[in-house]
Chain A
Amino acid sequence: MTLRERWGRVLPHLVIWPPIVISCAYVLVFSAWTVWVSFTRSTLLPEYSWAGWRNYSTMLATRNWQIAYTNLFIYGVCFVVFTMAVGLLLAVLIDQRVRAENVYRAIFLYPLAVSFVVTGTVWGWLLNPTIGVQSLVRGLGWTSFRFDWLIDRDMAIYTIVIAGVWQASGFAMALLLAGLRSVDADLLKSAQIDGAGPVRMYLRVVFPTIGPIFIAVLVMLLQFAIKTYDLVVALTAGGPGLASTLPSVVVYDFMFQRGELAEGSAAAVMLLASLAIVLVPYGLYRRWQQRRAGSHA
């Protein structure tokens, strides 16, 4: 073998492996590193003396964490339910062979191209009682009108739901619409011959056949909800007080503002665990589905 040939054989390996090794190591080593830090006594800088589960128990006992998880629950449920509902409504409406379908699609989907920072900032103005919707309605003559969720401790978390639904509905719409369009035409025709009206057609025939897409969208949205960070920072900064804080905000707060790297890392690991609760069952479900599809074929 000449040198040239040997080089020709080695070169692909030199090109392929570094990025693959780096990105696998990135996922595994960085995760393991954070998990490790969460079991140490690190504060401002990482140090590696063992602390056991102490950071986890401290974190779980803080008010920040308890409020953040209650909020995540409220926000997660509301965000997913309303986004799915609006997305489904949009998909079904657009599915009625409306004119200018592409224009509507573009309008409902554009929020996805915009950053959470931009979304949060703008909704922050709209929902700000002194300059936004409240002042507009009062200016029109209804002087006792109140819409001050942004500064209301009990309602602040719902402002994040509003902005989140605005941003993500187009995403749900796009996937559900693709699903609606993929339903077998023969199936629809035979249902029509059986005399099913449009409502029954959707409820009995169309929706059940796109069940897997519903689940996929649901899982993606839950994942968004758990990871939500920028939106809160831009919209309410977690306030008033801690009223609209979320776990991701608490992680950052402990890591970089309080200089408690270990406790912040423990919070990050718990955030990952919440994500795993959603994603692992879904992964298993997908595998089960593929295996079933495989055995039927």
Chain B
Amino acid sequence: MPDRTGLARLAIHTTLILLAGFFLVPLLVVVLNALRSNSDIAHTGVIGLPRELTWSNFSRTWSSYCISEHCDGVQPYFWNSVRMAVPATAISTMLGALNGYSLALWRFRGDTIVFGIMTLGVFLPEQMRLVPWVIVLRDLGLFNTISGLVLIHTVQGISFTTLFCRNYYTSIPADLLKAARIDGAGFFRIFGRIVLPLSPPILIVTVIWQFTGIWNEYLYGVTFSAGEQQPITAALIALSARLSEAPQYGEQSAAVLLAAAPTLVVYLFGGRYFLRGLTAGAVK
């Protein structure tokens, strides 16, 4: 319902531009500070333009900065996050697709109950699972390992991925499957020949959401890993705690930027799918 009077248009655009400015401030502040020297920031605060560009913040933060007595920069933690998020995303998406397929298209007795329980898993707060995970990880010998975190995020992720995939696969016409079954195709052939080729849209959504969620997760990371095994979110908190004595906002901004970069890049290139996942996850 466009209102075409000039004044109203002006008001709409001004408000939008002001709000966009407000939303961009934190990003701008981090980017600019990552390029400023610490003395510059100490002088004028975190909000300001760089007096001269200091590129060295990035290299120092990446490879030689000290975080709780280890002076290898954020690099090891960044790679920890990669080694955690990539396998957990891949495995949980694969299992979610298979689960979603069997729940949506190979109905069995009690399938709605099974699906209901899995959906509950999406809403269950992480705090409800911390103590059992402590015990399970200890008994499996996976405490303070990346594999332990991969296991947690995979099991946790199956709830989400099954929900996404099952809701998507229910729209595949049952006749298509019936015809394939009459032709003698079994469970895996139908999955490989019919369902999988229809899946790229939902698989992209699932991968984006899983990756973003796992990369950004903090509570499990800080509870089940320590020191050099921590993912980058936990390292960032450790970094700020240490720095509260002698703040070095230049390096810290570079660290924040490096921690945020992977999910921001995914968002930038997959924004369309990001939105689709949002509506699929929230409204269904």
Contact = CB atoms under 8 A, between A and B. Distances in A.
A15 B2 CA distance: 54
B216 A271 contact: no
Given A93-B16, A131-B46, A132-B46, A113 B131 contact: no
B47 interface: yes
Interface stretch (B60-68, B194-202, B232-240): B232-240
A272 interface: yes
Contacts of B171: none
B23 to A, nearest CB: 5
B256 A34 contact: no
A73 interface: no
Interface stretch (B51-59, B140-148, B173-181, B267-275): B267-275
A94 B16 contact: yes
A197 to B, nearest CB: 8
Interface in A251-278: 251-252, 255-256, 261, 264-265, 267-269, 271-272, 275
Contact of B1 (A122, A188, A233, A275): A188
Nearest to A255: B130
A118 B126 CA distance: 20
A118 B261 CA distance: 11
A31 B223 CA distance: 18
Interface string B20-41: 1011111101100000000001
B26 A271 contact: no
Nearest to A248: B127
7 contacts: A22-B155, A31-B124, A93-B19, A109-B271, A131-B247, A171-B282, A192-B1
Given A20-B99, A117-B216, A252 B127 contact: yes
A124 B241 CA distance: 12
B131 A33 contact: yes
B89 to A, nearest CB: 15
A297 interface: no
Contacts of A217: 282
Contact of A272 (B103, B106, B128, B247): B128
A34 B249 contact: no
Q: How large is the interface on B (under 10, 10 to 19, 20 to 34, 35 or more residues)?
A: 35 or more
B118 to A, nearest CB: 6
Given A37-B131, A170-B23, 6 more contacts: A31-B124, A116-B216, A125-B249, A174-B279, A268-B125, A272-B127
Given A19-B99, A23-B158, A8 B186 contact: yes
A126 B233 contact: no
Contacts of A53: none
Nearest to B272: A102
Interface in A107-160: 107-119, 121-126, 128, 130-133, 135-136, 139
B46 A125 contact: yes
Contacts of B30: 122
Interface string B76-103: 0000000000000000000100110011
B104 interface: no
A51 interface: no
Contacts of A234: 218, 236-237, 240
A117 B237 CA distance: 7
A131 B41 contact: yes
A149 to B, nearest CB: 16
A223 interface: yes
B172 interface: no
A178 B283 CA distance: 11
> Considering residues B2, B188, B256, which has the most beta carbons from chain A within 10 angstroms of its beta carbon?
B256
A241 interface: no
Contacts of A108: 19-20, 23
Contacts of A201: 1
A291 B125 CA distance: 29
A243 interface: no
